[in-house]
Amino acid sequence: MDVADWAGLLWAGLGLDWAALGGHVDAMRVLLNHSCADPAVMMMLKSNRGSTAFMYGAQDGHVNAMRVLLDHPLADPAAMMRHARRDGWNALMVAAQNGHVDAMRLLLDHPFANPATMTAARSTAGTSALVKAARFAAGQPTKPARVVTRSCAPLLLLLRRVAEASQPSDAYNAHMSQVVEALRQGPRFHEMFLFDQPDDARDECVRLLLAGGVTDLRGRVVVRIVH
């Protein structure tokens, strides 16, 4: 492959990234099916930070864009799912950070997924997808910043999966404590526990955190939910 071929592939790869980020599945198919395209290479081209088109789709919750990539005959779904950026973030983390539950379910339930590995993974800063979901629920800024409706649903999804895959241990309890700390640091922490606003997902999250060994949630919250 000469320089011109590599330059064309690079620009096509960048186009695929942008199309996935915007959820433009028709544009993605055009790029992947072009006679001069090398889909296997394009789908795994990385940005300066190490993101792939698949991660860009997960970042904005474009499940159809993610499926276009996963279902391509030349795709390596397992490689797409286990890939991490230079800062250690994987696709599950970027989806959780922005509260995209459907994208998270796809990542956890796909036949080529390894949910235990994805939920156990940590960024270079030491945070997991579960902690990022807690930050989303508590109102910490999304990346990129946007106005979104906050929900405990992403956090509940991951709490359930982590609880199913984990055995009681000091490490598991420490992970749950990280989640509580992430909740406390968010601007919505107090608002989340106003009980004139029913929230079944929030209540189930608290039950799972208590089952995970957390003992330092606000007392009145614990009593109101448990009893």
Position 223 scores a pLDDT of 36
- Structural tokens at position 222: 């614990």
Contact 92, 80 (CB under 8 A): no
Does residue 1 have a pLDDT over 60?
Answer: no
| Average pLDDT over every residue of 183-207 | 79
Tokens of 181: 């700390």
Q: Helices 153-165 and 170-184, interaxial angle, to 10°?
A: 170
The Cα–Cα gap between 173 and 181 comes to: 12
Identify the band that residue 196 occupies on the pLDDT scale cut at 50, 70 and 90.
low
- Rounded to whole angstroms, the Cα distance separating 171 from 40 reads 38
The residue type at 1: M
The per-residue pLDDT for 141 is: 75
Average pLDDT over residues 211-225: 55
**Tell me: the pLDDT tens digits for 163-188?**
887 777 788 888 888 898 898 888 88
Q: Rounded distance, CA 155 to CA 171, Å? A: 19
- pLDDT the model gives residue 66: 97
DSSP-derived secondary structure letter, 121: -
* Torsion angles phi and psi, residue 90, rounded to 5: -110, 180
* Selection from 156-160, 204-208, 221-225 with the highest mean pLDDT: 156-160
Rg (CA), the chain: 19
Chain-centroid distance of CA 220 in Å reads 31
Say whether pLDDT at 219 is over 60.
no
Q: Specify the pLDDT at position 13.
A: 57
Residue 147: count other Cβ atoms within 10 Å of its Cβ: 5
pLDDT score recorded for residue 90: 96
| Of 79-93, 107-121, 195-209, the least confident | 195-209
Sequence-separated contacts (24+) of 27-36 with Cβ below 8 Å:
28/53, 28/65, 28/68, 28/69, 29/68, 32/68, 32/72, 36/8, 36/12
Does residue 212 have a pLDDT over 70? yes
| pLDDT interval class at 47 (50, 70, 90) | confident
Longest dimension (CA), the chain: 70
Give CA separation, 136 vs 34, 121, 153, 209, in Å: 38, 18, 10, 17
- Residue 94: is it exposed, middle or buried by C-beta count within 10 angstroms (0-12/13-18/19+)? buried
Residue 218 has pLDDT above 70, yes or no: no
Six-digit token pair at 114?
């390894």
Which residue(s) pair with 90 in the sheet?
84
Of 76-80, 83-87, 149-153, the least confident: 149-153
Task: Dig out the tokens for 11 from the structure.
Answer: 């620009």
Arithmetic mean of pLDDT over the chain: 83
Query: φ and ψ at 36, to 5 degrees?
Result: -95, 0
SS3 102: helix
- Which pLDDT band, with edges at 50, 70 and 90, does 145 fall under? low
Instruction: Encode pLDDT of 124-135 as tens digits.
Output: 999 999 999 999
pLDDT tens string 3-38 = 334 334 444 457 888 889 999 999 899 889 887 778
What pLDDT is recorded for position 78? 94
